[in-house]
């Protein structure tokens, strides 16, 4: 019984430990804070929506990398600096959360997500 408890605790620790680690690396910013942050030089700004969505409107200087095309997404980020902050957004915030978690798996240390996504963007 004691061994079963230790195994269960280990499983919970690994599950919740990695979730806590992801929370430390991923920050969700309100639109005004996001706007201020991305207006610095050489920002890694990524729109994770489809090309069609991106073409219908996007944040200035954003690069479009569709999170639904996982292999291309992963390959694209191989050339990025994992120690430099990266800023993501999508339509409403759901896909960028998914993309953020994937970037954590790829070794990115500092990820910022636009709260509410492009629908919540009032700038420009």
What residue ranges do the domains of the chain occupy?
26-120
Average model confidence (pLDDT) for the chain? 86
Q: Give domain 26-120's CATH number out of 1.10.10.200, 3.40.50.300, 3.40.250.10, 3.40.50.1100.
A: 3.40.250.10
pTM, two decimals, is 0.80
The C-alpha atoms of residue 51 and residue 69 are separated, in whole angstroms, by 11
Sign of CA dihedral 87, 93, 98, 101: positive
Q: How close are the terminal C-alpha atoms of the chain, in Å?
A: 61
> Tell me: the pLDDT tens digits for 30-85?
999 999 999 988 899 999 999 999 999 999 999 999 999 999 999 999 989 999 99
Query: What residues act catalytically?
Result: 90
């Amino acid at each position: 019984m004691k061994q079963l408890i230790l195994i269960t605790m280990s499983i919970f620790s690994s599950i919740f430990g990695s979730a806590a680690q992801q929370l430390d690396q991923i920050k969700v910013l309100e639109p005004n804070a996001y706007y201020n942050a991305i207006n610095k030089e050489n920002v890694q700004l990524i729109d994770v929506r489809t090309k069609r969505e991106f073409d219908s409107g996007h944040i200035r200087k954003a690069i479009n990398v569709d999170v639904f095309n996982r292999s291309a997404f992963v390959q694209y980020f191989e050339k990025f600096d994992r120690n430099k902050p990266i800023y993501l957004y999508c339509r409403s915030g759901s896909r960028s959360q998914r993309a953020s978690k994937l970037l954590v798996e790829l070794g990115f240390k500092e990820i910022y997500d636009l709260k509410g996504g492009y629908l919540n963007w009032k700038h420009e």
